[in-house]
Each structure stands twice: as C-alpha cells, then as structure tokens.
Amino acid sequence: MSARMGRRATTTARLRRDLATATLTLFIAITSAPAFAQRWRATDDVPRYEDYLREALPGAETFRWINRGTPHYRGYKIGPNGEEELVGLGFFTVDFAPKVRGYKGEIWMLVGMDPGGALIDISMVYHNEPFGYFSVDLPKFLAQFRGKSVLAPMTVGNDIDAVSRATITNNSAVRAIRESARRMAREFIAERASDQ
C-alpha cells in the first residue's frame, strides 16, 4: 500500500510540475507573440522598412504608409511631367488572413505590386525555415513571381517551380503571396472605384 501511495505522490508532483511548466510557457507565448508579430507589420515607420520596400518596389523614389483597408505602402516616382506617379503597392503577407505557415513557422514577405495587379518583386523579410536548398529564400524561387498577374494560377507545379524537398514551405509561401496579392488588388480596385 505504501508503494502505491509513493507512486501516486510522485505522479502528482510530476503533474504539478508539468502543469506549472505548461502555464509558464503559455504565459510567455501569449505575452511575447504580439510584440514579435508587430515587427513585420505595415506601420507608419517607413524608414524601418525602406530597404525591403526598395527591393519590392525598385522603381519607387518615395514611400507613403496608407492606413486604409489593410495597411500598406505606396511607392511613388516623379514622372516626365514632374508629377508624382504611383509605381506600386507594398504589403506584408502577414497582414492578410489566413496567416500562412511554413514547415517551421510563419513566412513573412513584402510583396510589391503595380497598380494593374502585376507583381513587381518580393522581399523575404522573415522566415524560420531551414537554409540552403530546402528554403524559399532562394532568389530563383522569388524571381518566378515577377510580372505575374494576380489572375495567374500561382500554384506549385503549375506556373511556379518548387524547391526540392521543401514542399510545405513552397506551398505556404506561394499561397501567402497569391492570397495577399489578390486581396490587396481587390481592395485597391474597390478604393479606386469609390474615389470616382
């Protein structure tokens, strides 16, 4: 009987320890996740993201934060007539639902799109995927999206070549780009229609 009581006490102590550990882990995750996620969301702090914006919208000379609909950036250049011309929209994939996860976590990219709905370029901002040939961070992978219309299928195996042995990551990255670009295009078209 005492052996059984000893095992029960040990089991109870182990359960309490595990519960305390789980509670602490959950607390840390809940309190730190919002701050971590805010690192790569569109904000009015344009200089903070300027390098990524210049990569995604290479023809733009200046950038403005737009806090209408889904927050995003607009890149402008001075046209031949001296007037400011819209080069394109820059937006983070993480600002669009659903959040897209790769094999090891979220993949956050800044997508550049022209006013007609064609992708200009993509800047890889953050991912926690394995490096090397198992990653979406390869320039060749992201270059496939240049010039693609938001109406294009943008699916792995159709019009996007995958990085071998990175199926989850590839599919997630492609889905994030496709869904965020289509949503941004819909918002931009709706805004333009309401302005007229």
Tell me how many domains the chain contains: 2
Distance CA 30, CA 139 (A): 34
Prediction pTM value:
0.74
Residues 30 and 107 in one domain: no
Which residues touch 34 (CB under 8 Å, ≥6 apart)? none
Position 106 scores a pLDDT of 77
Query: Is residue 26 located within the same domain as residue 97?
Result: no
Could you tell me if 9 and 33 lie in one domain? yes
Tens-digit pLDDT profile for residues 39-86: 557 788 899 999 999 999 999 999 999 998 899 999 999 999 999 999
pLDDT at 126: 79
> Rounded to 5 degrees, what angle do the CA atoms 178, 105, 164 make?
65
Q: What mean pLDDT is reported for the chain?
A: 80
**What is the pairing mode between strands 62-66 and 72-78?**
antiparallel
Distance CA 15, CA 94 (A): 37
**Taking 80 as the threshold, does the pLDDT of residue 116 lie above it?**
yes
Kindly state whether residues 146 and 180 are assigned to the same domain: yes
Most confident of 1-15, 18-32, 61-75: 61-75
Q: 100 with 19, same domain?
A: no
Domain that includes residue 32, residue range: 2-38
